[in-house]
Structure 1
Amino acid sequence: MKNFGTAVILAGGKSSRMGFDKQFLEVNKTKLVDIITRKLENQFEEIIMVTNKPEYYKDFPHKIVEDEIKEKGPLSGIHTALKKASSKYVYFLACDMPNINLKFIQYMKDKLNEVGGDGCLSRKGNWIEPFNSFYSKDIVPKIEEHLFNDKRSIHSLVRKLNFYYVEEEIALRYSPNWDMFMNLNTTHDLELYLSGKRVN
């Protein structure tokens, strides 16, 4: 099994703050998930969509999966995708994160090749960014233990594991305004993004 090759788009979630399902976000009349997919195709051979609405992706040209462990949040999506992935390390992005930084992805790959471990996450102060990150297939049993104990927090899981952390000063070299970790959570966020203004 090779180290890299698989990227995952997580398209679950309640989307309560947006007011509609974020899987349906569009930018200039193009589905955001299609824009994300085309960008990821530049670095990954396999792309997996994790969704609770597979019927929406009938024309999606890549693999589609649903959570095996239901109603447990994004960690369920990470769990299922890791089991289905064909590479050891798997890149994860949420469906509402439009700013993909291919140079930063390559940096994380290089670090994992150098140091190994359970994955690569970025850290800003005490806050850990759960996406725009890599996770290893090796942690599937740990995720299952976490979920079956009714623990859903990605943060509480990864703090117990051997992740490499990209510190803020390094990540800022690739994304000075931190926008590669930006989520479009509300209609206001979407309006700001479409207008070219910064989303906080």
Structure 2
Amino acid sequence: MGVCGVVLAGGRSRRMGSPKAALEWDGATLLQRTVDVLGHHGDRVLVVAAPGQLLTVTGAEVVHDAVADQGPLQGLATGLARAGELGAETAFVCATDMPLLHPALVTAVLAARGPEVEPRPDVVMPVDADHEHPLAAAYATALAGPAAELLAAGERRVRALGARCRVRRITRAELLADPALAAADPELDSLLNVNTPAELAAARQRHRPGDRRC
């Protein structure tokens, strides 16, 4: 298995006021929808939860962080480690709060870390309007070790991992040069995340009813 999907779902959702993974989206939960999207691109999808967090989801294996409240870098390390154990060399890692994520975006990002790419980047990270998206990116599962080392040193930011590896930052123009992505998601709504009820409402306004994007 070359590719694994990893969904980080262990955040506290403080600004949303309720668990984002359980939010309703087009007849399913936000978490289930994200798992379904990633299920198109690998033999396995992992959901990383906080210690003791109970999640209801089908089509994915739930793994739990060993330590609570260590931020997204902990979830990344947990997901990459398990994906590596399953035999994957690449993981597409995203947050559970990306309701408009489209499979075409996942495909385009993974292609930029394909085995034929030389020199092969350790991370492929979308950049839109100078904003990096480390939680909509492709990672070498071998980065589980460096991520764990950063955590042991007290680091909690995902971006800190970039200083220790080869990162390809893929721009909006490069992404939209992919005809399939340009047709399916010309505004790159895939990269939107929702942290508040207002942002969720805005995403619903952009969503076409019945379009599950998968």
TM-score, normalised via structure 2 length: 0.82
Q: CA deviation at 1:29?
A: 4.0
Q: Which letter does structure 2 place at the counterpart of 1:162?
A: R
Q: Within 5 Å, give how 1:10-159 maps onto structure 2.
A: 10-52=8-50, 54-57=53-56, 60-85=58-83, 86=86, 87-113=88-114, 114-115=117-118, 116-124=120-128, 126-159=130-163
Higher mean C-alpha deviation, range 170-179 or range 75-84:
170-179
Write the distance in 1 (CA, Å) between the matches of 2:144 and 2:55.
27
- Once superposed, what is the RMSD of the aligned Cα atoms? 2.1
Partner of 1:193: 203
Question: Which deviates more from structure 2 when the two are superposed, residues 28-37 or residues 84-93?
Answer: 28-37
Shift of 1:194: 2.0
- Partners of 1:117 and 1:170 lie apart in 2 by 16
Match for 1:112: what amino acid? R
2:172 matches 1:168:
yes
| Paired amino acid for 1:8 | V
Question: 1:181 aligned to 191, 197, 205, which one?
Answer: 191
Instruction: Provide Cα deviations, 1:58-83, integer angstroms capped at 9, x if missing partner.
Output: x5342110112432101111101111
Gaps of 5+ in 1: none
Is the 1:14–1:21 Cα contact (8 Å) retained in structure 2?
A: yes
Deviation of residue 108 (structure 1)? Answer: 2.4
Tell me if structure 1 keeps the 8 A contact 2:13–2:20. Answer: yes
Give the 3-state SS of the residue equivalent to 1:55 in structure 2: coil
Q: Separation in 2 of the partners of 1:26 and 1:126?
A: 31
State the one-letter code of the partner of 1:3. Answer: G
Q: What is the aligned-residue identity percentage?
A: 22
C-alpha distance after superposition, 1:154-200 (max 9, x if no partner): 11221331122212321345444331111111111112222337xxx
Write the distance in 2 (CA, Å) between the matches of 1:129 and 1:106. 16
User: Given that residues 23 and 33 in structure 1 are in contact (C-alpha distance below 8 angstroms), is that contact kept between their aligned partners in structure 2?
Assistant: yes
What is the DSSP-based 3-state SS (H/G/I as helix, E as strand, rest coil) of the residue aligned with 1:56? Answer: coil
Give the 3 Å change call, closer, same or farther, for CA 196–111 of structure 1 in structure 2. closer
Equivalent in the alignment of 2:210: none
Contact 1:54 1:64 in 2 (8 A): no
Contact 2:6 2:45 in 1 (8 A): yes
| Secondary structure class of the residue paired with 1:130 | coil
- For structure 2, the residue ranges without an aligned partner over 5 or more in a row are 208-214
| Pairwise CA distance, 1:30 | 1.9
| Counterpart residue number, 2:211 | none
Contact 1:128/1:155 (8 A) holds in 2: no
Q: Does the 8 Å CA contact 2:64/2:78 hold for their aligned counterparts?
A: yes
Partner of 1:104: helix, strand, or coil? Answer: helix
TM-score with structure 1 setting the length: 0.87
